[in-house]
Amino acid sequence: MSADPRKRVVAVIPARGGSVSIPLKNIKELAGRPLIDWCIRSALDSKCIDEVWVSTDHDDIAAVAEKCGAKVHRRAAETATSTASTESAMVDFVKAHPDYDVLCLIQATSPLVMPDHFREALDLFHRQNADSLVTAVRAHRFLWSVDPATGVATAKNYVPESRPRRQDWSGELIENGAFYFTTKALFETSQCRLGGRVVLYEMPEHTLTELDSMVDWEIMKGLCEEHGYKPALGAS
């Protein structure tokens, strides 16, 4: 059940079959489990999400998703192209499944999310009476830009003459795309995952990891073995 029993929370995990960089990435084995299983099991075991759905256009992904415990939504073909936005998949999903108060968008490529992350974020979302929630990681990185006309580089978030020490600087909050919460009222009017009163849930630094190449895959494998959620044996 959701953190607020009056609010029905439904999660959707978009998982199209046309991944180019890593074919069928969403169900490729990662540290002994299909990639998508990591976030499905965390969402289910959080006990704060009423239903977990995978939105897909691919039979094999649908079969794996159901085996992992999720429900399956067969998404429209036009929402599963390489140019379609995630929001288009969300719109397609809620048209078919309008019974929700809060929509939770989960990215299949975020296998390091834990049940506690969902619970804590949803509690924050309700306590702050928010319209939407974004997850982010605090990183101590110096950002630069280069003028394409002149080639001149400029520091964007610090002054090189007074370079801050890590302990003296709060860093930058970087969206990690793990999951989002959006109220039904906001999504119906904006068709966007973020808007209105936005709150931010800060996640551990190791969750800021891309999964777009086989090098990324090997790095993520080690992170999942060290930090990933592992359901109890025999749990369903």
Which amino acids are annotated catalytic?
A: 163
Strands (E), the chain: 9-14, 29-30, 33-34, 51-56, 71-74, 102-106, 132-139, 144-146, 153-155, 172-183, 198-203
Check residue 24 and give left, alpha or beta (phi > 0: left; psi -120 to 50: alpha): left
Tokens representing residue 177 in the block: 């795309």
Which residues are registered as beta bridge partners of 145?
Answer: 154
Tokens representing residue 145 in the block: 């830009």
87: how many CB neighbours lie within 10 A of its CB?
16
Tokens representing residue 199 in the block: 């709150």
Q: DSSP secondary structure string, 64-80?
A: HHHHHT-EEEE--GGGS
